[in-house]
Amino acid sequence: MQVILKRPGEVAEVGYLADYNAMHDYCGGCFETVPLECSDGSRYLIVCNDEFLYNNSKFNIWLGGVQFFGNIFICKTGIVNGEHDFVGLDAVDILNIADNLCWSESDMISLIVAGQQLNALPFE
């Protein structure tokens, strides 16, 4: 699934996490979810390491009134095969997050460029 990836001290980028094992590996262990709502009412989900206090994760960002440590990714929730599950982001979501949630100018620019490139791809 297509998500926004953010590592401590690095610029946010659009990337892919194929399954729960990839999510676990990216977060560095057990993960926790934190709901996030944009000013326009759009809802997203921040996924972070639940054990950051035990594994000395570095500070990443302050977002939505919460401090995050270690690697995080942003996705949505939806229905997959009749069950609530993680759902990837599309170009509109990425641009919306860049416009409404970005925590730094470099993150915003990175996400706008990625969103515009995805918008320019032909539909198959």
More confident of the two residues 113 and 13: 13
* pLDDT tens-digit readout, 40-79: 788 899 999 888 767 788 999 888 778 899 999 999 988 7
Range of the domain at 6: 2-120
CA distance 46 to 41: 16
Total domains in the fold of the chain: 1
Place of tokens 């926790």: 32
CA distances for 50 relative to 55, 69, 74, 99, 103, angstroms: 10, 9, 15, 28, 22
**CA pseudo-torsion sign 79, 83, 84, 88:** negative
Residue 89 in this model has a pLDDT that exceeds 90: yes
Report which of residues 34 and 65 the model is more confident about: 34
Give the model's pLDDT for residue 66: 84
Confidence label for 101 from pLDDT (cuts 50, 70 and 90): confident
